[in-house]
Amino acid sequence: MSKTAQVEKHAFQTEVQQLLQLMVHSLYSHKEIFLRELISNSSDACDKLRFESLTDSSLQEDQEEPVITVSVDKKARTIIVSDNGIGMSRDEVVENIGTIARSGTRHFIDQMQGEQQDDANLIGQFGVGFYSVFMVSEHVTLTSRRAGAASDQGVQWESDGSGEYTLESSDLAQHGTTITLRLREDESEYLDDFRLRSIISKYSDHISIPIQMLKATEEEKDETPEWETINKGSALWARSKQEITEEEYNSFYTSIGYDPEPPFATIHNRVEGTLEYISLFFIPSRAPFDLWDRDHPHGVKLYVRRVFIADDTKHLLPSYLRFVKGVVDSADLPLNVSREFLQQNREIDKIRSGSVKKILGELKRIAEDDQEKYAKFWAEFGKVLKEGVIEDHDNRDSLAGLLRFSTTRSGSEQSVSLADYVGRMAENQKAIYFLTAESHEAAAASPHLEVFNKQNIEVLLLGDPVDEWLITHLTEYEEKSLKSIAKGAFDLNDIQEKEDKGEKKARKAQEKAFKSLLEKVKEILKEQVKDVALSRRLTDSPACLIADENDLGGNLQRILQATGQTAPESKPILELNPDHPLVSALESDLAELEDWAFVLYDQAALAEGATLTQPARYVQRINRLLSGNTGEVAKSGDESGD
């Protein structure tokens, strides 16, 4: 280190200080993962150097074989982890070590402080792995020099984890990074050579970069110490499936997914022929915390002939499979792959297509062979899988077969497939009926279901916001169209035997008798509704609202409005139940018609989950009708609908 180097003191970000306090003063069940995190960072640094040297000849001049070393000084109570990878410049040290830019940091701290989340296996998930060193260290020194730097100027970073760190220049002849941990008094177990070797074997055995420790013991004082490689260093995915145990698969998944639970499914595939590649995919048992962050890089890494290229998974798998973790290793792609190449390359497209089909095929197999197991997957990832129906036209049929729904027969459990539904359709039924609402409970209580329940016709109950977009792209299944029971004209002949002559005559007479009433109600509600008609959907309720065939449904309009989007203006159709006593009474006594018209409209809106714009008006009308005092209804601001 230069004697004239100026030492600078800096304070950590507020969130980093909270994180350090949490790690220093809390106890976790897996402190040993600090070594996994440091080795993982060193491996990434070596991979980045190899990758950048493909396009930068200056990095090839003094490049040696990549290696990671781990050594112990028992007298000084230190562990030293060193690599000859890409290294870091001063600015990179400040950016990567002095601050945390990850949006997940706040969530990580909340998780760590939660009663049920006291396990340090969370650390890797949130991109805060370096800070795990403070679980066992009282002082940490990091020295680093960026490969390709014009001089031998490096940087030294030091901190005791109390909220501050120092920076100073350091004269380093070799690029790479060295981290020295001075252990706390109660962490002596990590000074044991055998203990460190076992941790490396447990978490980092698959790392392709050699991880070395000294052969000779300190007591032997060998002047020419020998280093031996601890890890097997072979890419697990390159081995034959028959040679790999379930424990090895699970250990590898834990190392790349930072998930202590075994994966839900493991998919290992080798493709040979005109295009050669190996894929090893894992489907987690539980949804990751950042599942709904579509822009965040997720868990599939691209290798070319065992050389790490990129972890930008959007070119390897579509967004709706962003929960999948693993690797793809190609034998045909060039090593100097750029992002533009990934976007335009036909081989990448073929790998992506083949990988998607393999994953969906495995999900189909599980769904057919083990319904209970698939139900657990659907509970975790069903909503995100629905995005695939919207985005992936080529695999829409396969995805449609994987969908699961709650229905009027299944209750709240989403366990019914479209194949199940079609298999038990009524003889005269022509369509797959569905109803969208803000929740399952709202859908299950909807008056639109009344005639279907009476006729014992099953209806899909769709309560997820994504369902509104799902059904606009999934218009049919096995040549059966999907039809909303809350939109467009409705014919009872679709779900029951055709009317006889007597029934037709009675229905036409009823329409004629109510014609005048419908016209009056339509005139009263002209600002709220497009039309007023007699309903054939209702058996118990007096009224309901439906959307015209080509208009947006009320639920979709509310979703768009809630997200700040402009919904096309469209008015609903009010349907009245002619067999309901309340509607029949209106036909004979029109004295309170205006109040009743607005009350029926408002009740129908409430029944489908709408919020009244003027609830006070609704209460006034109800009170007036209950008291029998019709009064004079104020004309100004009298619209109280949705």
Asked if residues 446 and 420 have their Cβ atoms less than 8 Å apart, the reply is no
Q: pLDDT tens digit string along 589-601?
A: 667 899 999 999 9
Q: For residue 157, give the amino acid letter.
A: W
Is 389 contained in some domain? no
Amino acid 610: pLDDT:
80
CATH number at residue 613: 1.20.120.790
* pLDDT of 458 over the 90 cut: yes
* pLDDT of 630 over the 50 cut: no
Same domain for 273 and 224: no
Q: pLDDT tens digit string along 369-384?
A: 999 999 999 999 999 9
Is 556 contained in some domain? no
* pLDDT of 27 over the 70 cut: no
Q: For residue 270, give the amino acid letter.
A: R
Asked if residues 592 and 524 have their Cβ atoms less than 8 Å apart, the reply is no
Q: For 506, phi and psi rounded to 5 degrees?
A: -65, -40
More confident site: 274 or 99: 274
Q: Which residue from 404, 438, 436 is spatially nearest to 421, judged by alpha carbons?
A: 404
Residue located via tokens 């060295």: 178
More confident site: 23 or 550: 550
Amino acid 350: pLDDT:
92
List % helix, strand, coil for the chain (3-state, nearest 5): 45, 20, 40
Domain-terminating residue out of 229, 263, 279? 229
Q: What is the mean pLDDT of the chain?
A: 83
Residues written for the chain: 642
More confident site: 225 or 422: 422
Same domain for 278 and 219: no
Query: Residue 534 — very low, low, confident or very high, per pLDDT cuts 50/70/90?
Result: very high
Which range scores top for mean pLDDT: 62-71, 484-493, 566-575?
Answer: 62-71
Strand 460-462 relative to strand 325-330, pairing: unpaired
Query: Residue 609 — very low, low, confident or very high, per pLDDT cuts 50/70/90?
Result: confident
Amino acid 492: pLDDT:
66
What SS3 state is found at 502?
Answer: helix
Is 167 contained in some domain? yes
Name which of 86-100, 269-283, 512-526 the model is least confident about.
86-100
Query: Residue 99 — very low, low, confident or very high, per pLDDT cuts 50/70/90?
Result: very low
Which range scores top for mean pLDDT: 354-368, 459-473, 589-603?
Answer: 354-368
Same domain for 188 and 67: yes
Tell me the pTM. 0.71
Q: Return the percentage of the chain with pLDDT > 90, whole number.
A: 42
CB atoms within 10 A of CB 348: 20
Same domain for 249 and 207: no
Same domain for 435 and 513: no
* pLDDT of 254 over the 50 cut: yes
CATH number at residue 45: 3.30.565.10
Residue 102: burial class (beta carbons within 10 Å; 0-12, 13-18, 19+): middle
CATH number at residue 416: 3.40.50.11260
Domain-terminating residue out of 494, 526, 560? 494
Residue 1 parent element (H or E): none
Is 393 contained in some domain? no
Query: Residue 41 — very low, low, confident or very high, per pLDDT cuts 50/70/90?
Result: confident
Same domain for 135 and 17: yes
Same domain for 513 and 615: yes
Same domain for 149 and 26: yes
Q: How much is the average pLDDT of 621-642?
A: 59
Q: pLDDT tens digit string along 108-150?
A: 455 555 544 444 445 544 445 788 888 899 999 999 999 886 6
More confident site: 563 or 570: 570
Is 2 contained in some domain? no
Same domain for 477 and 598: no
Same domain for 27 and 152: yes
The total of structural domains in the chain comes to 4
Name which of 250-259, 343-352, 563-572 the model is least confident about.
563-572
Is 151 contained in some domain? yes
* pLDDT of 320 over the 50 cut: yes
Residue range(s) defining the domain that contains residue 288 = 236-380
Angle at 463 between CA 457 and CA 467, to 5 degrees: 95
Amino acid 196: pLDDT:
95
* pLDDT of 552 over the 80 cut: no
Name which of 324-328, 411-415, 552-556 the model is least confident about.
552-556
Q: Which residue from 637, 602, 636 is spatially nearest to 619, judged by alpha carbons?
A: 602
Domain-terminating residue out of 185, 208, 229? 229
Amino acid 127: pLDDT:
47
Is 399 contained in some domain? no
Q: Is the dihedral of CA 535, 480, 455, 497 positive or negative?
A: positive
Q: Which residue from 86, 93, 89, 88 is spatially nearest to 62, judged by alpha carbons?
A: 86
Q: How much is the average pLDDT of 462-469?
A: 87
Same domain for 211 and 104: yes
* pLDDT of 302 over the 70 cut: yes
Name which of 50-64, 438-452, 464-478 the model is least confident about.
50-64
Q: For residue 131, give the amino acid letter.
A: Y
Amino acid 635: pLDDT:
40
Same domain for 61 and 184: yes
Is 565 contained in some domain? no
CATH number at residue 331: 3.30.230.80
Per DSSP, the residues of 391-456 read H-GGGHHHHHHH--BEETTTTT---B-HHHHHHT--TT--EEEEEE-SSHHHHHT-GGGHHHHHTT
